[in-house]
Chains A and B, each alone.
Chain A
Amino acid sequence: MQINEELIRKITEEVMRQLNADAPKKQSCVNSLAGQDRINPEKTSYAGYPKAKVGTDPKEVVIGVGAAFQREIKKTINGIPLEDVIKNVKAGIEEEGMVPRVVKILDTSDVCFMALEAAKLSGSGIGVGIQSKGTTVIHQKDLYPLSNLELFPQAPLMNLDTYRKIGQNAAKYVKGEQVVPIPCTNDPMTRPKYQVKAAIMHIAETEQLDPDMGIIEWEE
């Protein structure tokens, strides 16, 4: 077997490549972000988007999504694509014979206020607020802001079926039916695992707020 410099170099490179590829990610490899003021350096401009209107259709349910929705953030905290989330909530509303409309809320990232603003724009007075991390509230326009019809605070436990049922229940409130709230789920260990991630995602959403734009129609 002939050994030459070229071969040794190639083998060394290959070994190094594999070593780097296999190396587990270590805490010590994570660089501190201290000194940086934002998570995403750029703020998306929504100039030119149509401002959301107050609906008149009594069958309408307005879904208010977060400022970073489908832009800076594309998946919920547990990895569900946001376009699937919105598809399922809309489908749930339509299955019950009601009409969904989506708006993007640029003046608050608080999910209760988002849902209430959506409800106030909704022809039926029922609205749904969805943060980009997946936290969701069903609201009614004449309730206190921090009260609600249904709240789903533990975003890591949500799945597409829950989002579809949220759409269905929102529609049922419009129809004035006796609605059985979607059963609660609870995992006490979501906080230690997800709270930091939740904070980072919420900061990323909040830094995209543009109160001058208020609320815009959102057809993505």
Chain B
Amino acid sequence: MKRSKRIEALDKRPVNLDGYIHEWPEMGFVAMKSPYDPKPSVKVSNGVITELDGKTRDEFDFIDQFIADYAIDIERAEKSMATPSLDIARMIVDINVSRKEIVDLISGITPAKMAEVMNHLNVVELMMGMQKIRARKMPGNQAHITNLKDDPVQLAADAAEGALRGFAEEETTMGVARYAPLSAMALLIGSQIGRPGVLTQCSAEEATELELGIRGLTTYAETLSVYGTEKVFVDGDDTPYSKAFLNSAYASRGLKVRFTSGAGSEVLMGYSEKKSMLYLECRCLYVTKGAGSQGIQNGSVSCIGIPGSVPGGIREVMSENLVAALLGLEVASSNDQSFSNSDMRRTARTMLQFLPGTDFIFSGYAAEPNYDNMFAGSNFDAEDFDDYNVLQRDMQVDGGLRPVTEEEVIRVRNKAAKAVQAVFKYLGLTSVSDEQVEAVTYAHGSKDTLSRDVTADLMSAEDVLKRNITGVDVVKALAESGYEDVASSVLNMLKQRVVGDYMQTSAILDRNFNVLSGVNTPNDYMGPGTGYRVEGERWEEIKNIPHIIDPKDI
């Protein structure tokens, strides 16, 4: 066939490099609704749920049982279930119905009913719902801080710059898992140099992550994964009960923690049980609530290519964010994984969370170039910082970031790199040269930095664990190396563990270590003139981007 030049041009567009597939419910490739999804139902007798979404108690798998016993308000169940799904959907977008009223009503419905409610809402209504139901009044943002070399000096510098730019939480992970203790330490130090009060975590194998938290080298945890089918749980060597125990282990040491889930994981693992992604994610979110977690990272997360490949998939992603908020959970709403070759498509996908605002719009945003992002690439990266700042300014929306000056960036990066150099030296760990500090200070990514001695680094990382080095040792090392201000900030982060207020839903800390959560700064949106508004100092900050035309220069 002679080819149309127009179709040829279209075929070459980046959007056509993405993967798409027809709906295939038997394999779980279906977003909002599968013909195999159960019909909502509940039966209560003697204070026990004896039927849940078409299954009687003897037919329950361990997820059903966990949900029936711990995630549904049994007192409310029959009344809530009697309210038509369409009525609940309408209440969600009705500015005259308060968040509390809806959250109370929702606490009595089942996962299948929740999926049914979401199927009544289009994407604009989902956004309206999020604007109203999000737990914390002010939205926030989270960064990924990683690099291809697992270079702790660069981690510290990027953490400092990210904190300066406004991220309230920073998460790292490693290419080589054994680097974890050094990564956690570098992130902790760097973040406090950029802006005191930023929370940090190190995503690693669960036992390692817990140990780093207990030692005070991280200040929150996020990678407690839950799944929507029993088989995937079992493959991960887990049950809802084991996740609840792990959650309690963190809580017992005063550490903030959230779970992780999202559409597509069951499809990727080959065990979707023919259910829709939304229904399975509802089950995950009920497990999260039942396990007593204050929050969730969800919105497909690392499986975004799966909902992204089917019709209505991005609507499903926003639906699951809203379901989490409706269950009273803190929502860190993904946008954290490369999703499309098309700049247009990846931006549009993020608008669903950016415009209404979520507790953390990204979880997280790559605060390094994407080639350095060890979560296999985020939806936005360091090269998008200015685009993002302009989007906030164009729409008068608070996306959690702020414009910065080059001088500030260089100053905090340099201080962070030097502080890590000093702490490692004081603790007798792997050495950091002045040349490395210099390269990292001015670097964009790891292509601009010097190579590390990986063998020496890994020996030091092991040493941190063997010698039982804790957050307090880091405080001491900072203080005795001339970084009293940073030492004081790190110590203040450790004190949060004793006070425990930041374990409340959707908590972040301001620069004076005051907790801002869904409890003491609750979202009170009820239509125009209420809720969080971008104004005053914050609006002035957002307005003031670099690259403004000076009329005097013309």
Query: Across the interface, which residues of B come within 8 angstroms of A184, CB to CB?
Result: 148, 175-176, 374
Query: Across the interface, which residues of A come within 8 angstroms of B207, CB to CB?
Result: 144, 147
Complex Cα spacing A22 to B2, Å: 8
Segment among B18-26, B42-50, B400-408, B470-478 that sits at the interface with chain A: B18-26
Shortest distance from the beta carbon of B521 to any chain A beta carbon, whole Å: 35
Establish whether residues B268 and A195, one from each chain, have CB atoms under 8 Å apart when the complex forms: yes
* 0 or 1 for each of B290-309: is its CB under 8 Å from A? (1 = yes): 00000000000011111011
Complex Cα spacing A113 to B309, Å: 28
Shortest distance from the beta carbon of A65 to any chain B beta carbon, whole Å: 17
Contact of A186 among B1, B235, B271, B377 (CB under 8 A): B377
- Tell me, yes or no, whether A81 is within 8 Å of chain B by CB: no
Query: Across the interface, which residues of A come within 8 angstroms of B337, CB to CB?
Result: 191
Shortest distance from the beta carbon of B14 to any chain A beta carbon, whole Å: 9
Complex Cα spacing A188 to B330, Å: 27
- Tell me, yes or no, whether A202 is within 8 Å of chain B by CB: yes
Establish whether residues B18 and A192, one from each chain, have CB atoms under 8 Å apart when the complex forms: yes
Contact of A145 among B26, B176, B237, B306 (CB under 8 A): B237
Query: Across the interface, which residues of B come within 8 angstroms of A23, CB to CB?
Result: 1
Contact of A206 among B271, B381, B459 (CB under 8 A): B271
Establish whether residues B21 and A196, one from each chain, have CB atoms under 8 Å apart when the complex forms: yes
* 0 or 1 for each of B351-393: is its CB under 8 Å from A? (1 = yes): 0000000000000000000111110111001000000000000
Known: A34-B23, A146-B236, A148-B177. A192 touches B305 (CB 8 A): yes
Establish whether residues A191 and B270, one from each chain, have CB atoms under 8 Å apart when the complex forms: no
Shortest distance from the beta carbon of B264 to any chain A beta carbon, whole Å: 8
Chain B, residue nearest A209 (CB): B270
* 0 or 1 for each of A32-43: is its CB under 8 Å from B? (1 = yes): 111111010000
- Tell me, yes or no, whether A70 is within 8 Å of chain B by CB: no
Establish whether residues A188 and B306, one from each chain, have CB atoms under 8 Å apart when the complex forms: no
Query: Across the interface, which residues of B come within 8 angstroms of A144, CB to CB?
Result: 205-207
Known: A34-B24, A148-B177, A178-B455. A199 touches B377 (CB 8 A): no
Contact of A191 among B29, B236, B377 (CB under 8 A): B377
Shortest distance from the beta carbon of A171 to any chain B beta carbon, whole Å: 17
- Tell me, yes or no, whether B504 is within 8 Å of chain A by CB: no
Query: Across the interface, which residues of B come within 8 angstroms of A30, CB to CB?
Result: 22
- Tell me, yes or no, whether A48 is within 8 Å of chain B by CB: no
Chain A, residue nearest B379 (CB): A188
Establish whether residues B176 and A181, one from each chain, have CB atoms under 8 Å apart when the complex forms: yes
- Tell me, yes or no, whether A176 is within 8 Å of chain B by CB: no
Query: Across the interface, which residues of A come within 8 angstroms of B302, CB to CB?
Result: 191
- Tell me, yes or no, whether B427 is within 8 Å of chain A by CB: no
Shortest distance from the beta carbon of A103 to any chain B beta carbon, whole Å: 19
Chain B, residue nearest A150 (CB): B176
Shortest distance from the beta carbon of A168 to any chain B beta carbon, whole Å: 16
- Tell me, yes or no, whether B208 is within 8 Å of chain A by CB: yes
Complex Cα spacing A198 to B19, Å: 11
Query: Across the interface, which residues of B come within 8 angstroms of A136, CB to CB?
Result: none
Chain A, residue nearest B381 (CB): A188
Contact of B237 among A19, A146, A181 (CB under 8 A): A146
Establish whether residues A192 and B270, one from each chain, have CB atoms under 8 Å apart when the complex forms: no
Complex Cα spacing A23 to B3, Å: 9
Known: A33-B24, A144-B205, A146-B206. A192 touches B455 (CB 8 A): no
Contact of A37 among B23, B26, B176 (CB under 8 A): B26
Query: Across the interface, which residues of A come within 8 angstroms of B1, CB to CB?
Result: 19, 22-24
Establish whether residues A189 and B175, one from each chain, have CB atoms under 8 Å apart when the complex forms: no
Chain A, residue nearest B18 (CB): A192
- Tell me, yes or no, whether B339 is within 8 Å of chain A by CB: yes
Complex Cα spacing A108 to B269, Å: 11
Establish whether residues B26 and A35, one from each chain, have CB atoms under 8 Å apart when the complex forms: yes
Known: A146-B236, A203-B27. A24 touches B3 (CB 8 A): yes
Shortest distance from the beta carbon of A216 to any chain B beta carbon, whole Å: 20
Complex Cα spacing A145 to B238, Å: 11
State how many residues of chain B have any CB contact under 8 Å with chain A: 56
* 0 or 1 for each of B172-187: is its CB under 8 Å from A? (1 = yes): 0001110000000000
Which residue, of B3, B176, B270, B338, has the highest number of chain A Cβ atoms within 10 A?
B270
- Tell me, yes or no, whether B341 is within 8 Å of chain A by CB: yes
- Tell me, yes or no, whether B124 is within 8 Å of chain A by CB: no
- Tell me, yes or no, whether A151 is within 8 Å of chain B by CB: yes
Complex Cα spacing A49 to B110, Å: 47
- Tell me, yes or no, whether A87 is within 8 Å of chain B by CB: no
- Tell me, yes or no, whether B441 is within 8 Å of chain A by CB: no
* 0 or 1 for each of B1-39: is its CB under 8 Å from A? (1 = yes): 101000000010000011111111111010000000000
Establish whether residues A32 and B17, one from each chain, have CB atoms under 8 Å apart when the complex forms: no
Query: Across the interface, which residues of B come within 8 angstroms of A148, CB to CB?
Result: 177
Residues of B253-274 at the interface with A, using a CB-CB cut-off of 8 Å, are 264, 267-271
Contact of B373 among A109, A150, A188 (CB under 8 A): A188
Query: Across the interface, which residues of A come within 8 angstroms of B377, CB to CB?
Result: 186-189, 191
Contact of B177 among A147, A188, A191 (CB under 8 A): A147
Query: Across the interface, which residues of A come within 8 angstroms of B454, CB to CB?
Result: 180-181
Complex Cα spacing A200 to B267, Å: 9
Contact of B339 among A187, A192, A205, A207 (CB under 8 A): A192
Shortest distance from the beta carbon of B453 to any chain A beta carbon, whole Å: 10
Shortest distance from the beta carbon of A32 to any chain B beta carbon, whole Å: 4
Query: Across the interface, which residues of A come within 8 angstroms of B3, CB to CB?
Result: 24
- Tell me, yes or no, whether A153 is within 8 Å of chain B by CB: yes
Residues of A149-192 at the interface with B, using a CB-CB cut-off of 8 Å, are 150-151, 153-154, 178, 180-181, 183-184, 186-192
Complex Cα spacing A181 to B374, Å: 15
Residues of B419-476 at the interface with A, using a CB-CB cut-off of 8 Å, are 454-455, 459
Known: A184-B374, A188-B371. A193 touches B23 (CB 8 A): no
- Tell me, yes or no, whether A45 is within 8 Å of chain B by CB: no
Establish whether residues A196 and B339, one from each chain, have CB atoms under 8 Å apart when the complex forms: no
Which residue, of B176, B208, B271, B304, has the highest number of chain A Cβ atoms within 10 A?
B176
Establish whether residues A202 and B269, one from each chain, have CB atoms under 8 Å apart when the complex forms: yes
- Tell me, yes or no, whether A46 is within 8 Å of chain B by CB: no
Establish whether residues B268 and A154, one from each chain, have CB atoms under 8 Å apart when the complex forms: no
Complex Cα spacing A197 to B235, Å: 21
Query: Across the interface, which residues of A come within 8 angstroms of B306, CB to CB?
Result: 195-196, 199
Complex Cα spacing A150 to B25, Å: 35
Residues of B298-349 at the interface with A, using a CB-CB cut-off of 8 Å, are 302-306, 308-309, 337-341
Which residue, of A184, A186, A189, A199, has the highest number of chain B Cβ atoms within 10 A?
A199
Complex Cα spacing A153 to B308, Å: 20
Query: Across the interface, which residues of B come within 8 angstroms of A197, CB to CB?
Result: 19
A residues lining the B interface (CB < 8 Å)? 19, 22-24, 27, 30-37, 39, 108-110, 113, 144-148, 150-151, 153-154, 178, 180-181, 183-184, 186-200, 202-203, 205-207
- Beyond the given pairs A147-B205, A195-B309, 5 more chain A to chain B contacts, judged by CB atoms under 8 angstroms and listed by A's residue number, are A113-B237, A146-B205, A181-B454, A192-B305, A198-B268
18 interchain pairs, CB-CB under 8 A: A19-B1, A24-B1, A30-B22, A32-B23, A33-B26, A34-B26, A36-B24, A110-B236, A144-B206, A184-B175, A187-B377, A188-B378, A191-B337, A191-B377, A192-B341, A193-B341, A202-B268, A206-B269
